Amino acid sequence: MTRTERATFPRAIIKDRAESRSGMDKSTPKQGAGPHNWGSLIDERELEDGADYDEVRELEETGIRKSSPPAIERRTSSVSEEDREKAREFRKHALKTGELDLSAIARTSSAMSASPPNQTSPIVVTAVKSA
């Protein structure tokens, strides 16, 4: 049976291919936001704002406040000039000895780093847990 023969059957003639299979009117345009793109971006923004407002109000009712992020303290790595000089001397002669100790070379790397001269590393203070 060919395609043209199938198209002449009574059931095929009755079926309207222009009709939407979902039953929705094809003239109704989707707005591009929301579930399955039904709705608009304005509606989406209003829903987000409403959800944020509800969350804040709910937290106020229960007495829980959002805590601020923990403070960051700076700690300078203090390597004395004497330690730097020892590290330089050790590294100069590290390859000349018969045995190569990579862990000792790695331990002297902090003394040898020169950029930046007063290196600081961030330390996060632990936040206080509320009940």
What is the domain extent for residue 39? 12-62
The arithmetic mean of pLDDT across residues 65-79, rounded, is 71
Mean pLDDT along residues 30-45: 70
Mean pLDDT calculated for residue range 49-71? 83
Return mean pLDDT, the chain.
74
Q: Is residue 108 very low, low, confident or very high in pLDDT (cuts 50, 70, 90)?
A: confident
What pTM did the predictor assign? 0.28
- Shared domain for 23 and 54, answered yes or no, is yes
Lowest mean pLDDT among 52-56, 59-63, 94-98, 113-117: 113-117
Q: What is the pLDDT of residue 131?
A: 47
Query: Do 57 and 76 fall within a single domain?
Result: no
User: Is residue 25 in a domain?
Assistant: yes
Between 34 and 46, whose confidence is greater? 46
Q: Are residues 98 and 57 in the same domain?
A: no
Q: What is the mean pLDDT of residues 103-129?
A: 65
DSSP the chain: --HHHHHTSHHHHH--TTS-TT---TTS---S-SGGG-S-HHHHHHHHHHHHHHHHHHHHHHT--PPPPPPEEEEE----HHHHHHHHHHHHHTTTSSS--HHHHHHTHHHH--SSTT-EEEEEPPPPPP-
Domain presence at residue 84 = yes
Residue 100 lies in a domain: yes
Output the six-digit token pair for 70.
């923990």
- Number of domains the chain contains: 2
pLDDT-based confidence at 75, cuts 50/70/90?
low
